Amino acid sequence: MERNAMKEHLKKMLGADQVLTEDLDLLYYSYDSSFLTKLQMSAPDTVVLPRSTEEVQKIMQFAYENRIPLTPRGAGTGETGGSAPMSGGIVMDLSSWDDIVEVDAANMQVTVRPGVIHSELNDHLAGFNLFFPPDPGSSKMCTIGGMVANNASGLRAVKYGCTEQYILGLEVVLPDGRVITTGGMKSKAIKNVSGLNITKLFVGSEGILGVITQVRLRLFPKPKGRGIVMAVFSELDDAPRAVLEVYRAGILPSGIEILDSSAIKAVNEFKPHINLPDAEAILLFEVDGNPPSVEWEGTTIVEIVSKFAQTVEWATEPDRMAALWEGRSVTAAAATRVRADGSRIFAGEDISVPLSGVADALRKIRALGKKHGIQVVNYGHIGDGNVHTAPIIDPENPEEVERALKLVDDIHLLAIELNGSTTGEHGVGAVRREYARLEHGDAVDMMQAVKNALDPHKIMNPGKVF
């Protein structure tokens, strides 16, 4: 279909205030947080901002009939180019559709539209003493729709898992415009094994199968107590050993974070007053629950970890917890600011390896950094083997960019070599699809078959996932 005719049709369909067509406005939809979209600018032909299922349905029918590529988008905070249009077409910005439809406190669930911001949802739920546990680092800006589409998790995945564990049902508009409700048309049940699990098919599907227009989430009671253990290690290998011993003692912390020597150095350079000890690794264990169990778990972790660590500290007092956590909370910013003429980039940032391979992975990533002459800052969720690597480069220096891209490729291959995955929680998007066959083998054919069944004209988010 001719580009201007498409724009005019969509304006008539939705009203001019819900459609962006000016070339300049479209440029703003060429990026997310990925380094890829800093290197290349690929804008859509039009942007639509629907705020009802019916509107989404009409747009999808139109795109389907006219074979127009369509890329769904939340807040555009992803790090994989997942919401950036690779083949033009329509970008569907769902971030302004942000209604909390119903908090069903009696049934421990909430129904939301896709544009609700994660932290704002939890602020709202706090009034009911409930919470939606997955806790991504982008909590203050990412949308629930984006979390579902990428099966996001975060700091507390150790204990609370990923988004998929909390999805009771979805409303999805399929590429041809049909609307389905997964998890039972009228169901308010928490347990439900009826039928094929279509819900999970859409969770983490990164917008290649349909558009999520409503989400029914399971909620947990908000824990009343919290405590932090900080442990400092002179040997990197002792850190994962300590984590394993804590698990063996029957304790499941809500989060276990690691800063390796590269992150410690970056934090101290960025904020000297934090003055983290010069060490090979620092672990932060977070425990939550009822105050007596928090106290028991915290003191038991101290007892166990002391066998491995140089120093260990346990805190439940809010100011002290904040002080202990400060090193972790500024790590991402430190990675951005540690080099005056450069910045971190979001690339090769999310590998996941077996717990037993975390120390090895960290060592090898640092060696790869040296090999390519690129400074790296490593931190992440050691409790589930998810390592975040921040290459620090001058992004405006083409030679450095080239070396960084080789490093990123090596990091992804390393993850597969270590029996891990190229991504633990951020997704594949456009930046990791080249590893699909290496990671999944012939299972990619099955993914392709599912995609073809639901989206025969391949209009949904082309150029992503596999």
User: By the criterion CB under 8 A, which residues form the site for other proteins?
Assistant: 20, 22, 24-25, 27-29, 31-33, 37-38, 41, 47, 49, 75-77, 93, 95-96, 117, 119-120, 138, 140-142, 332-333, 336-337, 340-346, 394-396
256 touches 243 (CB < 8 A): yes
Q: How far is the CB of 111 from other proteins (least distance, A)?
A: 21
Q: Which is nearer to other proteins, 43 or 103 (CB)?
A: 43
Q: Which is nearer to other proteins, 141 or 198 (CB)?
A: 141
With 0-12 CB in 10 A as exposed, 13-18 as middle and 19+ as buried, what is 193? Answer: exposed
Closest CA to 259 of 368, 388, 170: 388
Which pair of tokens denotes residue 445? Answer: 């054919």
Beta pairing class for 70-73 and 90-93: parallel
Q: What is the DSSP letter of 259?
A: E
Instruction: Return the residue matching tokens 């029996």.
Output: 419
Q: How far is the CB of 403 from other proteins (least distance, A)?
A: 16
Q: How far is the CB of 77 from other proteins (least distance, A)?
A: 4
Q: Which is nearer to other proteins, 43 or 170 (CB)?
A: 43
Q: Which is nearer to other proteins, 74 or 420 (CB)?
A: 74
Q: Which is nearer to other proteins, 18 or 422 (CB)?
A: 18
Q: How far is the CB of 94 from other proteins (least distance, A)?
A: 11
Closest CA to 286 of 360, 383, 372, 366: 383
Q: Which is nearer to other proteins, 322 or 443 (CB)?
A: 322
Q: How far is the CB of 309 from other proteins (least distance, A)?
A: 29
Q: Which is nearer to other proteins, 59 or 281 (CB)?
A: 59
258 touches 358 (CB < 8 A): yes
Q: Which is nearer to other proteins, 20 or 431 (CB)?
A: 20
| Cβ count near 289 (within 10 Å) | 18
H-helix or E-strand spanning residue 173: strand 167-173
Q: How far is the CB of 321 from other proteins (least distance, A)?
A: 21
The helix/strand/coil state of 357 is: helix
Angle, in degrees to the nearest 10, between helices 261-270 and 358-372? 60
Measure the CA–CA gap between 279 and 272, rounded to whole angstroms: 15
DSSP-derived secondary structure for 217-240:
EE-EEPPSEEEEEEEEESSTTHHH
Q: How far is the CB of 70 from other proteins (least distance, A)?
A: 17
322 touches 300 (CB < 8 A): no
Instruction: Return the residue matching tokens 């729709």.
Output: 145
The helix/strand/coil state of 258 is: strand
Q: Which is nearer to other proteins, 81 or 289 (CB)?
A: 81
The helix/strand/coil state of 162 is: coil
Q: How far is the CB of 337 from other proteins (least distance, A)?
A: 6
Q: How far is the CB of 23 from other proteins (least distance, A)?
A: 9
Q: How far is the CB of 334 from other proteins (least distance, A)?
A: 9
Measure the CA–CA gap between 142 and 120, rounded to whole angstroms: 10
Write phi, then psi, for 371 (nearest 5 degrees): -55, -40
Beta pairing class for 351-352 and 19-20: unpaired
| Cβ count near 40 (within 10 Å) | 12
Closest CA to 41 of 49, 54, 32: 32
| Cβ count near 430 (within 10 Å) | 24
Q: Which is nearer to other proteins, 166 or 346 (CB)?
A: 346
Which pair of tokens denotes residue 302? Answer: 């101290």
H-helix or E-strand spanning residue 267: helix 261-270
Q: How far is the CB of 339 from other proteins (least distance, A)?
A: 9
Q: Which is nearer to other proteins, 73 or 216 (CB)?
A: 73
Which pair of tokens denotes residue 137? Answer: 């680092």
Q: Which is nearer to other proteins, 30 or 87 (CB)?
A: 30
Q: How far is the CB of 267 from other proteins (least distance, A)?
A: 13
